[in-house]
Amino acid sequence: MRAESFRKHFPIFSDSVHLCSCSEGALSDRVMVAMNEFMTSWRTQGAPWEAWMEEVDHARQQFAQLIHAEAKDVAVVSCASEGAFHVAGDLRFDNQRAVILTNDMEFPSIAHVWLASRERGSTVQFVPQQDGWVRTEDYLNLITDRVALVSVPLVSYANGFRFPVAEIAAKAHAHGARVVVDAYQGSGVVPINVNNLGCDYLISGALKYLLGAPGMAFLWVRPGLERGPNPALTGWFARTNPFAFTPRVLDYAGDARRFQTGTPSIPAAYAAAAGLSLINETDATEVFQHVSGLAERLQNAVLDLGYRLYSPTAPEHRGPQVSLWVDDAERLSHFLQERSILVSPRGQAVRLSLHYYNNEDDVAQVVEALKDYQSQQPGR
């Protein structure tokens, strides 16, 4: 599907400019239909668990397709933190190998899970960031034989900084460490092929660039990876056969489903499957080129206006986000919102994020509004 056809699936563009996919993707007609299907099935069939479970598997399959994986290697979890918890739990920390290497631009809840694993004997090391930039050499230099896990996001939530995952993963593996990628801020717009990325685990959630609703995330586990301790957080959906109803038997599934727990969010499954199905009808390379082209155009325009950028300008690190460093991010976001331009403030940054549904017109509109904002600032 080409960009113009893709955009037509998102009614919000009839009255607004949606630039906040880093926070929540736009609602598509397909997701609305799917959510209605869920409600109709509930109203008319009472408890159609079989159909609902099929929808969960549908979401799993769609995610697997997106990352070039097999559905059996994907666990459906409730949020990215839960996926990270399972990754930490899959490791054994000892005197020789106990370090989890992460960075200052990791999403907090993922970093918090790493910090919490110190109770089980890990040591957490942070690669520093400076002005929204994490140096690859700093990551590589900290990878030693003492590292158990290297955690590297595909794209940082803070400013769209894109990490050289394959390079970092190669060094990690050379030192016997495992690699986890939080792809939440990239999946859907940055092409992912887990067969080339070099990671052992990949986590993402359905609600941002994957265009689903809150309530569902995915954990991909590399097939053949040596199994760690049995998951401590568990439930009936981690069983070989969840519907066997055998409370005395704890038989973990042989595949990634061993990392599942209890009843998944069914409404979120309907939304995730529908959102992902739209993305899987696009060409990943074309989506990335489209988004990168818009990001470059927007970045250059805001630089011309004299705004300070928090996102990287180097194309190899630029992601789907242009982030402005401003005095009052809430105020600027509010100003834009009053003009129906929807963005996402975080601290002192205003994040303008781009998806395949955005176009040059959206960029022109936000640039015009940013110019107006400047002209209204005292002292100009």
Whole-angstrom distance, CA of residue 180 vs CA of residue 345: 27
SS3 call for 175: coil
To ligand PLP, the closest distance from the beta carbon of 336 in angstroms equals 21
Between 113 and 367, name the residue whose CB sits nearer to ligand PLP.
Answer: 113
Residue 318: which of 336, 330, 303, 339 has the closest Cα? 303
Kindly report each contact of residues 253-258 with a partner whose C-beta sits within 8 Å and lies 24 or more positions away, as own/partner: 255/72, 255/73, 256/72, 256/73, 256/74, 256/75, 256/219, 256/220, 256/221, 257/72, 257/75, 258/75, 258/230, 258/231
Between 190 and 369, name the residue whose CB sits nearer to ligand PLP.
Answer: 190
Whole-angstrom distance, CA of residue 279 vs CA of residue 379: 46
> What SS3 string covers 234-283?
CCHHHECCHHHCCCCCCCECCCHHHHCCCCCCHHHHHHHHHHHHHHCCCC
Between 157 and 307, name the residue whose CB sits nearer to ligand PLP.
Answer: 157
User: What is the chain's percent helix, strand, coil content, to nearest 5?
Assistant: 45, 15, 40
Whole-angstrom distance, CA of residue 103 vs CA of residue 91: 19
SS3 call for 144: coil
Between 217 and 301, name the residue whose CB sits nearer to ligand PLP.
Answer: 217
Positions touching ligand PLP (CB under 6 A) are 79-81, 107, 109-110, 153, 157, 182, 184-185, 205, 217
Pull the structure tokens for residue 66: 């997106």
Between 98 and 264, name the residue whose CB sits nearer to ligand PLP.
Answer: 264
